[in-house]
Structure 1
Amino acid sequence: MDLLHDLDFGIDDGPAYTQFAGRLLGNADLRTRAGPRLFLQMAVAQQTGRRPGPKPQDESAIDVTQVFVDAPFRLGEVSGLVRLGRQELDLSGNRLVTTRDGATIRRAFEGAKLDLNLKGSRLSMVSARPMDLRDEAFADRADRTERFNAVSLDLPPALSPGGQATLYYLDRQRQDAHWLRAQGRERRYSMGVRYLGHVADWRVETQATWQTGRSAGHPVRAYGAALSLDQEFAPDRPIVLGFDLVAASGDKSGTRTIETFDPVYPNNFGLSDAPLFYQTNYVFGGGSVSTRWAGATWTAGANLLVRHSTSDSVYANSRPIPGTNNAQRPTSLLPQVSMRRPFSERSEIYASLVRAQALGGLRAAGGHNALYSRVQITTRF
């Protein structure tokens, strides 16, 4: 169950809603001793109450969400894997290529992926299209208006002190980009580096991206960066402190260049559990504390969101929110509390509450505070 009051902070008559949703996934995994593998996943998703209406991933009759064949091979010291078909993508934890979770159809692609491993390094290459989701049974298909190509290289341990460093290059082509200054055909290249490891007892995840290309005839020059730190204290009752700092560029005045960062295929809940913002034109920072009590993990945190550029908008649902390209930089304060408790080896309950404070940039556009809550039960058979 999800409750949101109000969508887009009530700007442009953004509605309130209470949604009840469910998803059923089923898998079949055939593995052979020789190595080849066949994997099949099917899903059904239903919802009621979402306003102004469900998104394509919110509602679907039974359909094939993944079906692929794995073919492993070896050439001398190089081991490899070819994966063909409809599949979820993971490029070594890249923040720009994530699955879409919750009570929805997960994000998948149709195409090919090649992994090559040599002496602790891994090279991954992808050519695929995201899925075009349809309501009818067995109607989903590859989106012919979009293509995604990627190359990702995990560096060997000697070049990744204390963790794993990854270089990546992404190529996204689509026909329906929606930015404040440009709408239409876009081809955007994203190149960067990601590091995950430990520094002085802190778990460190950092990623930096530079983007170029063209969007609706305009040149693209954009960037994004993220840093996450986590450390666990007090082993008798673990307390985990976390800190996040994320930035994504936005359009500046006096230029034709598109400087709005494209988060490509982002995590739904990258800023908070509330589906209020799209991850571009912002600087975002804050922290959280987690502990275990009564069999559950309890987390409390707060994050401040400000616009990177006042010449660009606040974005939600992959589009600019009307009226938010004003002179006010502060956007929202996002305090959140959550609880996750397993009640068997295969079942758990998760609940969260976000009280999103509308700050200057949203209030100048007519926005007000928003409230979001979620209760989710997951059971695996």
Structure 2
Amino acid sequence: MKNIILTLALLIPFSGFAQEFPNLKSTRQDEDYSFLKNDTINKNWYKTMKFLPINESKSAYFSFGGDIRFQYFYAKNENWGNGDQDKDGYVLSRYLFHSDLHVGKYFRAFVQLQSSVVGGRIDPSPVDANPLEVHQAFADFNFINEKSKKLILRAGRQELSYGSQRLVALRDGPNNRQSFDGLKLMTGKENMSADFFFTHYVAARDGIFDDKSNQDRQFWGSYFVLNKVPLLKNIDVYYLGYKRAKANFDDATGKEIRHSMGTRIWGKSGNWRYDGEAVYQFGDVAEKNISAWTTSINGGYRFNSIKFHPEIGFKTELIRGDKTKDDSKLQTFNPLFPRGAYFGLASVIGPSNLIDIHPSISFEITKNIDWIIDYDMFWRYSGNDGIYAPNTSLIYPGNTTTKKKIGNQLETEIVWEPNPFLYFRLEATWFQAKDYIKASGMGKNIFFTGITTQIRF
């Protein structure tokens, strides 16, 4: 609580700049403050922090920023009552600070440090705890960097995020964001862009400055985005390759080489929004051939003429699970590097072997306050496969019962963003365990609640 009060006190001076800098992003490396080069009239200390020239022509400059987040969570019957239980809740603190150096039009270096600290949590995982690390450290070589076209080579430790973050995400929900070591070539021209990359996953360790490339987990691929497509608006087409030395599924264990081919159609039309995606996976795990897929539809309609502008949303996913035990095939879908909080911050299960139906409604209470309510219903896609965490670790095997119903989840949250620098969230989740969960473990209902305070500058 003392940390939260101190942070709020420090934030007061920033509120006056809210309208001047509305472009703070979750991916801080995508921010551009070069426009401040010509701002000589309204100079102040914050603008100096964002654009600090180091030569007379101002072609070379530093930019600094950060992100501080405090969270308190309480969970009753965590993991459906299995294992040790924390009766007092726990606190998560995350600190992200970066320095961004631009030298002319053709070179840029970006460094970001991350500290993720846990207090009061029983046996925290690397997703929660990572004391102090170099989260990102890369150099950009801008062969072409214009408004209408670009050709940029990025080398070093970096975040990867694509599409709706179903397969490649920042993992911003959990306390410790994820990154990769490698090379990425970014290209673009007018209404098309494409990335090509080859990386190793960065494995989090419990020491200071000891995170290293995980040679056992390679990740490569290409991602194309087409904008302003007639009728469809936007189309993503991608290939993702993944190699893991030690995979552990319900019906396969060993070396995994998996290829994912996918497409996504998304956009807005009037009051409607839509996002549809389909992915097919092939490859092998040990001696088993992979044949897995997923498809999802996520849409919504916003009533702008009604008070509070309610939006009705609907999402459904079919995510393949393994059909037959002890055969030569593995049909379990691997979500690769998804959002850690895939179905809400309670993060009960991950997107493998699932059927998910997810209606929701949201209200714009004021310009800066939103209220969201959603309801999720889960079934196993295959009664012969288990359920998995977001990182594909097996939670329960598939042979505990033939029942497929996992449970129902009701979640609500209130989000307040008074300006681009400040973010507050109050949330609560109730998960009702059903037949499969009750047959596989303690089977207790879960209640999860938390509060988040965040500043970006």
Q: Give TM class, smaller chain.
A: over 0.9
2:165, 2:338 within 8 Å by CA — same for their partners in 1? Answer: no
Selected match of 1:364 from 439, 444, 447: 439
User: What is the aligned partner in structure 1 of residue 286 from structure 2?
Assistant: 216
Q: Secondary structure at the match of 1:57?
A: coil
**Unaligned stretches of 5+ residues in structure 2:** 1-71
2:73, 2:449 within 8 Å by CA — same for their partners in 1? Answer: yes
2:271, 2:304 within 8 Å by CA — same for their partners in 1? Answer: no
How big is the alpha-carbon RMSD for the aligned residues of Structure 1 and Structure 2?
Answer: 2.1
Selected match of 2:384 from 293, 303, 311: 311
User: What is the aligned partner in structure 1 of residue 355 from structure 2?
Assistant: 283
Selected match of 1:67 from 123, 134, 137: 137
Q: How does 1:103-114 map to 2 (within 5 A)?
A: 104-114=175-185
Correspondence 1:341 to 2:416:
yes
Query: Relative to structure 2, which stretch is displaced further, 187-196 or 132-141?
Result: 132-141
Relative to structure 1, the CA distance from residue 189 to residue 14 in structure 2 (aligned partners, 3 Å threshold; closer, same or farther) is farther
1:272, 1:334 within 8 Å by CA — same for their partners in 2? Answer: no
TM-score w.r.t. length of structure 1: 0.93
2:184, 2:197 within 8 Å by CA — same for their partners in 1? Answer: yes
1:242 positional shift: 1.1
User: What is the aligned partner in structure 2 of residue 120 from structure 1?
Assistant: 191
Q: How does 1:30-41 map to 2 (within 5 A)?
A: 30-41=101-112
Selected match of 1:299 from 372, 391, 395: 372
Correspondence 1:322 to 2:393:
no
Query: Relative to structure 2, which stretch is displaced further, 197-206 or 330-339?
Result: 197-206
1:188 positional shift: 0.4
Q: How far apart are the structure 1 equivalents of 2:410 and 2:237?
A: 34
1:73 positional shift: 1.6
- The one-letter code of the counterpart of 1:111 is G
TM-score w.r.t. length of structure 2: 0.78
User: What is the aligned partner in structure 2 of residue 376 from structure 1?
Assistant: 452
Q: How does 1:140-155 map to 2 (within 5 A)?
A: 140-155=211-226
Query: Relative to structure 2, which stretch is displaced further, 291-300 or 78-87?
Result: 291-300
Relative to structure 1, the CA distance from residue 289 to residue 107 in structure 2 (aligned partners, 3 Å threshold; closer, same or farther) is same
1:22, 1:103 within 8 Å by CA — same for their partners in 2? Answer: no
Give the paired residue count. Answer: 378
1:94 positional shift: 4.6
1:65, 1:105 within 8 Å by CA — same for their partners in 2? Answer: no
* Residues 70-102 of structure 1: CA deviation (Å, up to 9, x unaligned): 112239996311111111112344521011113
* Residues 197-242 of structure 1: CA deviation (Å, up to 9, x unaligned): 1356411111100000011221111001111002211345221111
- The one-letter code of the counterpart of 1:287 is P
Selected match of 1:229 from 287, 292, 299: 299
* Residues 125-180 of structure 1: CA deviation (Å, up to 9, x unaligned): 0100111112222111111111001111223534x634210111110001121210
1:38, 1:68 within 8 Å by CA — same for their partners in 2? Answer: yes
- The one-letter code of the counterpart of 1:40 is V
Selected match of 1:6 from 73, 77, 80: 77
Q: How far apart are the structure 2 equivalents of 1:221 and 1:320?
A: 19
Q: Secondary structure at the match of 2:266?
A: strand
1:344 positional shift: 4.6
Query: Relative to structure 2, which stretch is displaced further, 208-217 or 71-80?
Result: 71-80
Q: How far apart are the structure 1 equivalents of 2:369 and 2:185?
A: 40
- The one-letter code of the counterpart of 1:263 is P
Relative to structure 1, the CA distance from residue 64 to residue 169 in structure 2 (aligned partners, 3 Å threshold; closer, same or farther) is same
Selected match of 2:407 from 332, 338, 341: 332
- The one-letter code of the counterpart of 2:173 is G
Q: How far apart are the structure 1 equivalents of 2:353 and 2:214?
A: 27
Relative to structure 1, the CA distance from residue 183 to residue 8 in structure 2 (aligned partners, 3 Å threshold; closer, same or farther) is farther
Q: How far apart are the structure 1 equivalents of 2:418 and 2:188?
A: 39
- The one-letter code of the counterpart of 2:414 is M
Q: How far apart are the structure 2 equivalents of 1:165 and 1:232?
A: 22
1:91, 1:124 within 8 Å by CA — same for their partners in 2? Answer: no
Q: How far apart are the structure 2 equivalents of 1:372 and 1:94?
A: 24
Q: Secondary structure at the match of 2:396?
A: coil
Query: Relative to structure 2, which stretch is displaced further, 173-182 or 95-104?
Result: 95-104
- The one-letter code of the counterpart of 2:267 is G
User: What is the aligned partner in structure 2 of residue 133 from structure 1?
Assistant: 204
Q: How far apart are the structure 2 equivalents of 1:345 and 1:182?
A: 47
Q: How does 1:38-117 map to 2 (within 5 A)?
A: 38-51=109-122, 53-74=123-144, 79-102=150-173, 104-117=175-188
1:208, 1:225 within 8 Å by CA — same for their partners in 2? Answer: yes
- The one-letter code of the counterpart of 2:188 is N
Q: How far apart are the structure 2 equivalents of 1:324 and 1:257?
A: 16
The structure that is helix-richer by fraction is 2
Relative to structure 1, the CA distance from residue 167 to residue 379 in structure 2 (aligned partners, 3 Å threshold; closer, same or farther) is same
**Unaligned stretches of 5+ residues in structure 1:** none
1:162, 1:198 within 8 Å by CA — same for their partners in 2? Answer: no
Q: Which has the larger radius of gyration?
A: 2
